[in-house]
Structure 1
Amino acid sequence: MGTNVQTITEQVSLIASETTWIEGAAIQQLKKTAELSGMVRVAGMPDLHPGRGYPIGAAFYTRNKIYPALVGNDIGCGMSLWQSSLKVSKINLDKFMKKFDRVEAPLDESWSEVVKRRKGEKDITTQAFDLSLGTIGGGNHFAEFQAIDQVYDAKALKALGLDKKQLQLLVHSGSRGLGQSILVEHIRQFNHHGLIAGSEDCQHYMQQHDEAVRWAELNRELIARRFLEAARSEGHLVLDVNHNLVTAKALDNQSGYLHRKGATPSDLGYVVIPGSRGDYTYLVKPQPSEQSLYSLAHGAGRKWKRGDCQGRLSHKYKKDDLVKTALGSRVICGNKELLYDEAPQAYKKCESVVADMADAGLLEVVARLRPVLTFKTHGDCS
């Protein structure tokens, strides 16, 4: 293990350099989770920032207890990377942007057989949130077409079947209202208390949790397929990784439970770490480490709270200024508040977040991807 692993307490570690800015409130939340009953270890990533009671960008390891609140309401949220059949050199951005005017409404009848078949294959029985399948949602979720900008490991890129000439599609979304309903039900019954592992209540939650994870994976697949269809493109899945979930995991030769809240698994192969909509995304090969609880950052990490961004930026940037980025990419976002909340200035630089983890010996960079077109919403997000 290299540098950039800070030991805050015996139970709490932070993967970040001394120069990486991390809000004090996030550190306090990290320490507070270490005090929970059954908590063994807590690890913060360089994208760590405060959440609603619990930090985002962290992993938590427990024995004998599971804490649904540490997973949060967007169970199964994650990233999927698809390679399209579109040539980067052939993209005319002005024309390309006009192709995505019908990618937000619930999937129409033409998708019904695909949805039915894939739900059956993934053992998804819930129907209550079918209208949300194939939709991105609000917040920091997106669908982004990208170009491979720099290659650092050509052999790894080839092994993944990635071609620099092709346009890539990165989808970030989760379980939408399904995950929210599961957490709300849990909080109503148990407040923020954990569940005893193996208990009937814990088994009930884990059944719901596991289905929500599968639902989120299907949601990303359907989002990708409808964007590829709108672009009149073929495409195939390269990787799909969840960063909000709890899984059984042995540590120190003892069984336990690894909770991830905005933390990308480092023990499942290659992953992507995206920046803001005006920043680069990094494809990396993780080097699994117990010290980081087998986790990496899930993105660049916020610097500013949502709701504060418009006040900070509106005197310098008009709405039209924010739909074009310094990297030459375009942004589709008809929601003015969201446009400011998700501005590149509100996030850390992804390069520094990735560098912190590389210096700690947690990953090797395979490639850098540049945004071409980021889709958020045409209007208000639900």
Structure 2
Amino acid sequence: MNTPSSETSTATTVRIIASPQSWVEGEAVRQLEAVARLPGMRLAVGLPDLHPGKGAPVGAAFESEGFLYPYLVGSDIGCGMGLWDVDLLARKAKAERWAAKLDLEGPWEGDTDAVLAEQGASSTGFESALGTVGGGNHFAEVQRVEEVHDARVFEALGLREERLLLLVHSGSRGLGESILRRHVDRHAAGGLAAESEEARAYLARHDGAVLWAKANRALVAQRALEGIGATGRRVLDVCHNSVTARHEGGRVGWLHRKGAAPWDEGPVVIPGSRGALSYLVLPVGTGEQSAYSLAHGAGRKWTRTAARERLKERFTAESLTRTSFKSHVVCEDRDLLFEEAPPAYKAIDRVVTDLVEAGLVRVVATLAPVLTYKTRGRTAE
């Protein structure tokens, strides 16, 4: 089996899992190699959705020993994907009606303490944002099943081909930003000695933000389901911005995921752009070559500025509220509508094919957008 990767033999292993058919920006590779030179770094892996980030690439996983690096996790600690099975038949979808009325903005008026407690999380002072999607590439998307590729796994998850699904991509909102800012104000992009008191304090705040983010996705889903008049059951929830300890062979390694879904937590949804399919996949193989991580999405092809400049010449804002799947997009921030347009992203089918060819996943089903919710506001956070 062909495993598309490139590797350099240094003190730190640097590996990029991408086929020759996949385009990976040179700046992303440079950032990956720069991170590999940090003290204690042992493994740096770029996944097929690798693209440049703020100082460190997105779509990557890093394992270090003796040090951990909060800036590799970034500001949206706990960001991830949750998938819900919706108790509503796809043929009964009312996408146009839902697009006109669905509103997930503003503070939720219910008992946030109870929502947090259900996920084992605690109040943090950021609860006015709990249950909101946020800006950037975050979304809540009603989906239908396009095709089932592995009926056994699909059915084992309790899914039915004729029903709708809801995919939520969101994180810890301002909480994660505050945690990173606290670190950066003292250490800039520097790391922390793993056994230090500062590292333990950061990890405690980090772990709290991961739980808070999971609660946020659950509440976003609850609000979205109520908005379309349905109920749902959570099928999976995975985090793709985190740092976790890995105990192996008597040593402790620190696995940083920056826009990298976990390989070792069961099925994962890898979304495309709002005008492309999403892939429900099952991890296979050993996961060792990819630092036990998977691509978390299509990955940006263009920067936000480039996307605005290029696409405003080709499309009207109104045209971007509908997709080739005839799905609807709710995004009342005009700049964000162009920044997040499908052409700004890599082809998701190529990203997933690279993972399949690398022996990392098996496709369970493809999911098509019906309604993508971004924001009702004029300015993305």
TM range (shorter): over 0.9
1:336 match: 334
CA distance in 1, matches of 2:280, 2:32: 27
Relative to structure 1, is the Cα distance of residues 117 and 356 closer, same or farther in structure 2, using a 3 angstrom cutoff? same
2:45 match: 43
CA distance in 2, matches of 1:65, 1:310: 39
2:136 match: 139
CA distance in 2, matches of 1:157, 1:9: 40
Unaligned runs of 5+ residues in structure 2 are none
Deviations 1:144-203 (A, max 9, x none): 000010110001000000111111000000000000000000000111111111211000
1:25 match: 27
Kept after mapping to 2: 8 A contact 1:83/1:238:
yes
SS in structure 1 of the partner of residue 144 of structure 2: strand
Q: Which moved more, 1:5-14 or 1:296-305?
A: 5-14
Alignment of 1:274 onto 2:271: yes
Normalising by structure 2, we get a TM-score of 0.97
SS in structure 1 of the partner of residue 153 of structure 2: helix
1:211 match: 208
Unaligned runs of 5+ residues in structure 1 are none
Kept after mapping to 2: 8 A contact 1:77/1:173:
yes
SS in structure 1 of the partner of residue 22 of structure 2: coil
CA distance in 2, matches of 1:8, 1:284: 29
Tell me by how many angstroms 1:86 deviates: 1.4
Q: How does 1:168-179 map to 2 (within 5 A)?
A: 168-179=165-176
Q: CA RMSD in A?
A: 1.2
SS in structure 1 of the partner of residue 304 of structure 2: coil
2:321 match: 323
Relative to structure 1, is the Cα distance of residues 335 and 98 closer, same or farther in structure 2, using a 3 angstrom cutoff? same
Deviations 1:244-273 (A, max 9, x none): 000011356532110000000001110000
Q: Which amino acid aligns with 2:227?
A: A
1:80 match: 82
Kept after mapping to 1: 8 A contact 2:113/2:123:
no
Q: Which amino acid aligns with 1:221?
A: A
Deviations 1:259-292 (A, max 9, x none): 0000000011100000000000000001241110
Deviations 1:208-229 (A, max 9, x none): 0000000000000000000001
Kept after mapping to 2: 8 A contact 1:144/1:373:
yes
1:105 match: 106
Q: How does 1:1-382 map to 2 (within 5 A)?
A: 2-10=2-10, 11-100=13-102, 102-108=103-109, 111-112=110-111, 115-251=112-248, 254-287=251-284, 288-379=286-377, 380-382=379-381
CA distance in 1, matches of 2:99, 2:336: 19
Q: Which amino acid aligns with 2:355?
A: M
Q: Which amino acid aligns with 1:185?
A: R
Deviations 1:273-328 (A, max 9, x none): 00000000000001241110000000000000012212101111011111111121
Kept after mapping to 1: 8 A contact 2:238/2:261:
yes
CA distance in 2, matches of 1:381, 1:311: 18
Normalising by structure 1, we get a TM-score of 0.96
Q: Which amino acid aligns with 1:91?
A: A
Q: Which amino acid aligns with 1:75?
A: I
CA distance in 2, matches of 1:12, 1:253: 23
The alignment-based identity, stated in percent, is 48
CA distance in 1, matches of 2:372, 2:61: 28
SS in structure 1 of the partner of residue 186 of structure 2: helix
CA distance in 1, matches of 2:116, 2:373: 26
CA distance in 1, matches of 2:188, 2:296: 27
